[in-house]
Structures are given as structure tokens and as C-alpha cells.
Chain A
Amino acid sequence: MDDQQFEINEPAVVADEIDGMAVIINLETGAYYSGSGCSASAWAALVAGAPTTELATALSVPHPVVAAFAAHLLGEGLVRPRSGATQPWSVAPAHGPLTLDRFDDLEDLLLLDPVHDVTEQGWPHREG
């Protein structure tokens, strides 16, 4: 994956960083995630728009590792390619693998169906 920039996939995904832990919730799938240390730092920086190459340098990890982490986030639907301006970002010194724990235990709660936005083409069709 070449140098890329991302943003959080709102409104389907909400997240917060607290006490060194990133808590990420996909409201469409019911899956939620947590990551600590290096993963929490990388998450915060990536959704602020940090280019993957610069983030790799800042974290002192090889770029392919950061790129694979970003690709995983993209595959889980947690981020999307960035369309807006980059926000200020920085990373605190942190250690550990770039991984997120995924939890699926709430998926059966509501058998969630994605939110369908109403368009002029009819209903229910997702807005493109």
C-alpha cells in the first residue's frame, strides 16, 4: 500500500481514546474493537489524517507494518480514504504490536441492519 491518508468512517463508526486505549465501535455491524499502546497511538494518528509513511517514521516501525494496519482498518470498515484536510497529529512513544482486539459478542443483540438513508431514487437505497 502506497502512502495514504484516512479518516474515521463516520457515521457508522464512533471511537474515543481514553487512558491509552482506543475504543472503536462499528454501529452498522455491531462489532467493536480496542487497542492499547502503539495501536491506540496509530489509530488516533491515522484518523487525524497522518500519512502512513510519516506515521511509520514517527512510530519507528517499518512502513509495511503501518500500511498493513491501515489496510486492516479499511477492511473492517473503520476508516475510509481521507477527503478532508489533515488534522494536527502526533504520537506518544508506545510499544507493542499494531493490532486491535475485535469483539463480536454484541452482534446478536439487535440483528442490526444498516441505517438506510433516504434518497430521491427511492427507499431504501443507500446514498452513494
Chain B
Amino acid sequence: MTTRLAALRGELEDQLGGLGRPSAVRSFSVAGVGVEVRVYGGLLADALLPAFDACPPLGGVEVPSVIHAWDHSATGTRMPAGVSALVRPGHNPRYVDGCNHLLIGEGVCALVTEGVQPTTAFFVVDDASTLPWFHRGSPLSLTLASVLGHRGRPFVHAACAGFPDRGGLLLAGRGGSGKSTTALRCLLAGWEYVGDDYVVLHPDDMSAHALYSTAKLAPLDLAADASLVPRAATLLPDPAHTDKTIANLWPAYRAQMPQSLPIRALVTPHVGSGTQTRWQRATAGRGLLALAPSTLIQLASTSAAQLPPLSRVARSVPSYDLELGSEPGGVVAALGELLEHAAS
């Protein structure tokens, strides 16, 4: 039987066949997995590709997983009727028929077909000029989470910063917990920066790998502390005028942007009420509680297999609670102490 998702894939393949040559192609490696993004439509390429600037080019002979991305407004195509009928206002529905996974957002759909190597995925949007900020700061996140997760490299909803000789801190928690701002403060204080929102886990050596070269700047944070703006970075254009500023840290901070860091501790930040930043040891269960729900729910996980790698992180490294104080200078100093403690 041809399922509806298989039929939808056929529709998308037909559209793809009529698009001609892509406007831009970016091939790169993430945690040893090859990915190629082929974008049709210049505006969409400008929106999606800068965030991958820090990813190393493909090495070796591995055939990459391919993500085809196009913009209906620029290419003169239309969202397939099978997708339009499934849009549910106020929801981001997911549909699964075994090997085909369809995710639908506002003006966006992503279809990933797993089980065939290399994995092929489609990411199509109505109009690149209206893409929300998170598609620019963390482009193709749901698509890449599926593609990389299928190759044993789970996406993790966490920030990571540290040092090459001491390893990195994995900062886990839901949006608003302070992980992005904390990672940015570390970068500006001279730490190495792997990511502020998503990193890729390599379970074999328990390391966090960089994917996005971006940093997200919330207006409230900027209003409170203008020094948070990484002055040398490029601010990405935001035609949709959404509520966050996206800075591309590459190449201005390339010396502080390693491909990966070994994870030394799992840290759960939360915004405290005092001025001082404090940390304390926490149980592995508390660490997992910060890491796993946020990761699996935000990335629309549909598989029980995605939890064990996160559990292994919580079991392998010490967990800490971090209460963020309002005094900016104390945050990085406290994290330095924490990292020393974790390494001791």
C-alpha cells in the first residue's frame, strides 16, 4: 500500500524535479556524520545557511544525508495539498508511517524518510521572508535532529562551553532558564563555545559537537546588559522582525569555536533572585530531568531510543544546579569553580 506520507514524498520529489539547480549547496560534517543541504531560493539560502558556517567540510568518502530545502514563494511552487489539509492552527502536528516522518509548523513542513541510507529529507517553507527567528538561529533543527539521531548522534537541547584542556559544561534546561545567555557570557570571557541552544552528542566519547555558529540575544537580556552583544559578530538579517536578535559568531570568534568538547559536567541553570551566582552538586536524576524532557519534547521525539543516550550523559558526568545571580561578573567565575570541581 502506498501510504499518504509516501504519496506526499512523491509530490515533493516531483516538485524538486522541476526546480533545476539549487541556489546554494552546503556540505558539512557533524560529529562524523555527513550532511548536505541543497537550497532552492536565494532568500531561503540566506536564512538557513549562515548558521552552519563553523561546520567543517565533508571529509572522507561518506555519502552524506541530503536535505532539500525550498521556498514556495521564490520557486513558484505551492505547499502540497496533502500538507495544507493537515495544518492545525496552534499545533505542530507530527505524522509517522514507519519510515516517513512529517512535521508541520506554521508555513513550514519537513519530511524525513529514514531507514534508507543515505537519509533524504525535504524542508519546504511558504515564504522565506517570514521565517521566524528560530529557523534562522537553529535552522532545520527538527529535520537535522531526525537525520542525525538516526545515525546515532542525538541532538541535545543544551548549551556547551568550556576549555580544550578542561572539557566543557553542558548547560541543560528549557528556554528561559539562562543557558544561552550563560554560554554567551562564557564566550565573551574567553571560554570556548560549542553552542547556546543545541549541540550534537557523540555517545562514544561523551563529547558535545558544534552545529550552529549562532548566538541568540533576547531583548530583555540586551536591555539589562548591553555588553552581551558580541561586537565582532555579524547580526543576521531578520526580515520577519521577530523578537530575538541572531548573531553569527563565525568567523569573528573562530579561535573560541572548537568542533567539540568532552562533557565534564551536566549543569542545570535557573535564574535566581539574588545577586550572586551559586552552584551545588545535584543528583544524576535531577540532571536527567533537566536534559531529557526539554530535549525530547522540543525536538518532537517519537522514539524511546532517544532517551538512553541522554541517560548515559547523566550517569557519566556529575550534575550540578546553578542559580544565576544578577551580577554578571559572578556567573563566569562561578562556572569556572564548578568546572574545576567537576574535574577534580
Q: Which residues of A contact B (CB under 8 A)?
A: 10-11, 14-16, 18-23, 25, 27, 30, 32, 34, 36, 103, 105-106, 109-113, 115-118, 120, 123-124
Contact A25 B95 (CB under 8 A): no
Q: Hey, which chain B residues are within 8 Å of A36, CB to CB?
A: 285
Q: Hey, which chain A residues are within 8 Å of B97, CB to CB?
A: 117-118
Total A-B Cβ pairs within 8 A: 109
Q: Hey, which chain B residues are within 8 Å of A34, CB to CB?
A: 285, 289
Contact A21 B297 (CB under 8 A): no
Contact A32 B92 (CB under 8 A): no
What is the chain A residue whose CB lies nearest that of B104?
Answer: A113
Q: What are 21 of the A-B contact pairs (CB < 8 Å)? A: A11-B303, A14-B301, A16-B307, A18-B285, A18-B315, A21-B283, A21-B286, A23-B293, A25-B297, A27-B296, A34-B285, A110-B297, A110-B298, A110-B300, A111-B90, A112-B297, A113-B91, A113-B94, A117-B97, A118-B4, A120-B1
Residues of B277-314 whose CB lies within 8 A of A:
283-286, 288-289, 292-294, 296-298, 300-304, 306-308, 311, 314
Q: Hey, which chain B residues are within 8 Å of A11, CB to CB?
A: 302-304
* Least CB distance, B103 to chain A, in whole angstroms: 10
Known contacts: A118-B3, A124-B86. The answer to whether A25 contacts B292 by CB under 8 A is: yes
What is the chain B residue whose CB lies nearest that of A10?
Answer: B304
Give chain B's interface residue range (CB within 8 Å of chain A).
Answer: 35 or more
Known contacts: A106-B174, A106-B297, A111-B90. The answer to whether A21 contacts B289 by CB under 8 A is: yes
Q: Which of B284, B294, B302 contacts A18 (CB 8 A)?
A: B284
Q: Hey, which chain B residues are within 8 Å of A18, CB to CB?
A: 284-285, 288, 311, 314-315
Contact A115 B302 (CB under 8 A): yes
